Structure 1
């Protein structure tokens, strides 16, 4: 499989991470963030969680700081849009995302998948692609009981060490989610093993994304 480097060691890369809920970014793209930092990319990260309040806000902030340890720069921004009702708040969320766009111009954006079964996730995707029209957007996946996992076309191979670190941080920081029967090590490593098989990752694990539009250059 042809590999295109997202960034090389010592290069700067500006990243915008968008998640509807406190653990979404970590589940969908946390391993990729950890790998970029470990591989020496100078990562400038703007990390936005759109629905985080109370204990979930504390979890979101602590987890983001842990995942972003070693980044060149980091900014964590938490909003408090009402969970499960994002479509009804679309206009307000779009204004909020417009304000983010006015402050940064990222090289790559990680956001939810277009066909995600959760209405909040779909709305974040719809508004991401509406507001950020000239950016590389990678849509990540969130496993859930709805059974909405899809075929993807972009992969980030992960080492076993990074996969272990991702799982450890998820279980450490999101105590409010441990009662959910899907929120466990087997779910996270099992999905990563499947994606690693699909891209023939050297150490067997990977995160998968969908890229809808890509402009190629030569030289």
Structure 2
């Protein structure tokens, strides 16, 4: 296994996180974001979700402050596209992605896995690749009933403390998801432990990602 580090730059690291639903980013790459901000305190993070009801938008705001801190949380955005209908509002979603081009170019982008079995997730992944061509894009995974977990080819090792913080933030900030039998501490920790084993992580924990293209 070959370790990889982000190139050192004179300017601060710029990160863009994209998710279909309010808790997707936290589930898929929340630990990695916590680690990146710990190691790069000057990093800027733009955190965008595309489907948020009124209740979940409030949860999203609270969660973004816990994961990002107050300054970066101000860059978070929650749109209100209908959950489950992204293929039918493709044009409107595409317009949102086109607007992202006007901002500062991110160094690193997190988005959904292209083979995710949730149609909203796949659309976000597709539009990410339609919009950005010269950035490192890491595709994250979401556990679900469909059973679409694959074999990631990029791993971020995480400390025990970061894993605890990720899971605690998820459970505390998204009470609306408490009735889902998979939205539990043991589910999230099991994924972190499995990917940690695959990454030969000395801490036993990691998050897994898919990389389609990478040059260095």
State which drifts further: 132-141 or 72-81.
72-81
Alignment of 1:34-49 (within 5 A): 34-49=34-49
Alignment of 1:102-181 (within 5 A): 102-181=102-181
8 Å Cα contact 1:45/1:71 also seen in 2: no
Normalising to structure 2: TM-score of the pair?
0.95
Alignment partner of 1:66: what SS?
A: helix
8 Å Cα contact 1:9/1:39 also seen in 2: no
Partners of 2:171 and 2:10 lie apart in 1 by: 31
8 Å Cα contact 1:50/1:78 also seen in 2: yes
- What's the counterpart of residue 2 of structure 2? 2
8 Å Cα contact 2:107/2:135 also seen in 1: yes
- What's the counterpart of residue 75 of structure 1? 75
Partners of 2:58 and 2:105 lie apart in 1 by: 27
- What's the counterpart of residue 86 of structure 2? 86
Following TM superposition, the consecutive aligned residue runs of length 4 or more in structure 1 with deviations greater than 3 angstroms are 7-11, 70-74
Aligned residues: 216
Report how far residue 111 of structure 1 moved.
0.2
Report how far residue 6 of structure 1 moved.
2.4
Partners of 2:11 and 2:202 lie apart in 1 by: 24
Q: CA RMSD in A?
A: 1.8
- What's the counterpart of residue 190 of structure 2? 190
Partners of 2:77 and 2:100 lie apart in 1 by: 10
8 Å Cα contact 2:64/2:73 also seen in 1: no
8 Å Cα contact 2:154/2:209 also seen in 1: yes
Alignment partner of 1:103: what SS?
A: coil
Partners of 1:109 and 1:173 lie apart in 2 by: 24
Partners of 2:73 and 2:179 lie apart in 1 by: 33
8 Å Cα contact 1:68/1:74 also seen in 2: no
Normalising to structure 1: TM-score of the pair?
0.94
Partners of 2:165 and 2:197 lie apart in 1 by: 20
Structure 2 residues not aligned, in runs of 5+: none
Alignment partner of 2:111: what SS?
A: strand
Partners of 2:42 and 2:124 lie apart in 1 by: 27
Is 1:210 the counterpart of 2:204 in the alignment?
no
Report how far residue 142 of structure 1 moved.
0.2
8 Å Cα contact 2:109/2:135 also seen in 1: yes
Partners of 1:205 and 1:125 lie apart in 2 by: 25
